[in-house]
Amino acid sequence: MIKVGIAGFGKIGELRYNILKNHQYFDVIGILEKNKDTPTPTNINRVTSYKELLNLDIDAVFICAFNDVLADFTIQAIEKGIHVFCEKPPARTVKELEKVKTTFEKSNVTLKYGFNHRYHYSVIEANRIIEEGDFGKLLNFRGVYGKAGSIDYNKNWRNYKKISGGGIVIDQGIHMLDLIRFLSGQEFEVKYSLIKTLFWNIDSEDNAFIILEGDKGSVGSVHSSATQWKHKFLLELTFENGYINLDGILSGTRSYAPESLRYGLREFEDITWAMGKPQEHVIWFENDDSWKLEIEEFYRSIAGKGEVLNGTIEDALKTLSLVESVYNS
């Protein structure tokens, strides 16, 4: 059995625990949670410091803590020879993450970052279709990822730069930027970004409007928003020979659902007139196993049965660099 510690038992930490407790090869033996009002399973050793957690003779740690400690927690675990699964963002800044990379490269542990959107079935299917090659080169794309906010949204720690490193972009927009990198197979330059705080009384952005250009010529836009008022996920990809639209994404609350994939090949009546209504294929997805699938990949890497394919340190650096460019453009 792989003995596991969980650092942070908020919403994500609890979600990870509920999967790990049913995993054949993981055994959660310790949980770090400083908030006295946050309950943890009574049969699991609860500690109040990260040092205590690492000293519980654990083999792996799931870091589900605030952004300001992610890099430091990761480095401490790696230095003790402990495998690390760290939630996104991988750090607040590229500088922080580069220190992690330096430490990791001297180790023999598994390090994986939680970009779970890559494991949604709509994304997996879209990637399969793209890799078949019939759609040709990616021309352009449009992505919108927006949340409705909440009555206490302006009090959430994720919206304060000192702790989180930014606002809606590093919190949620990072997923859209990562998916565009993943599905296109390109690296991108931020040509223009408009960062605004339009509604919420916070010291970070609640909206970002981003223009990107890829190293293979693709261009597109991303809108990351905390003023959508209705949760929304939409990624439209236009290729030389067709289009693929990912509309909706399943979550615990299912408030971004339904999750669907729509795609079709370009059709012309003649050389000058586009039909505008090509034959379209629609697939609906009812299950979200993304959290389980990425944990399974983490296990297989620890067990020597496979590699970390998604959420590598290299991927994390490239996606975080893109986020940082959005803030600095």
Query: Which tens digits make up the pLDDT trace of 78-133?
Result: 999 999 999 999 999 999 999 999 999 999 999 999 999 999 999 999 999 999 99
Average pLDDT over residues 156-164: 94
**183 with 123: CB under 8 angstroms?**
yes
Supply φ then ψ for residue 124, to 5 degrees.
-60, -45
Domain 2-116+292-309 listed as CATH 3.20.20.80 = no
Residue 8: which pLDDT band, with cuts at 50, 70 and 90?
very high
**163 with 299: CB under 8 angstroms?**
no
User: In angstroms, rounded to a whole number, what is the distance separating the alpha carbons of residues 254 and 102?
Assistant: 39
pLDDT at residue 271 above 60?
Answer: no
**39 with 17: CB under 8 angstroms?**
no
If you average pLDDT over every residue of the chain, what do you get? 95
**68 with 163: CB under 8 angstroms?**
yes
Residue 274: predicted pLDDT: 54
User: What stretches of 10-153 show up as alpha helix (H) in DSSP?
Assistant: 11-20, 50-54, 67-79, 94-104, 121-132
More confident residue, 130 or 266: 130
- Give span(s): CATH 3.40.50.720, the chain: 2-116+292-309
* Nearest of 218, 280, 235 to residue 126 by alpha carbon: 235
Query: Which tens digits make up the pLDDT trace of 294-314?
Result: 999 999 999 999 999 999 999
β-strands 2-7, 26-32 pairing:
parallel
Query: Which tens digits make up the pLDDT trace of 65-76?
Result: 999 999 999 999
β-strands 60-63, 83-87 pairing:
parallel
Residue 272: predicted pLDDT: 53
Average pLDDT over residues 266-291: 80
Query: Which tens digits make up the pLDDT trace of 217-262?
Result: 999 999 999 999 999 999 999 999 999 999 999 988 788 989 999 9
H/E run at residue 109: none
- Give span(s): CATH 3.30.360.10, the chain: 121-249+251-286
pLDDT at residue 63 above 90?
Answer: yes
Query: Which tens digits make up the pLDDT trace of 127-156?
Result: 999 999 999 999 999 999 999 988 999 999
Indicate the pTM of the whole model: 0.96
Domain 121-249+251-286 CATH (choose: 3.40.366.10, 3.30.360.10, 3.30.70.330, 3.30.460.80): 3.30.360.10
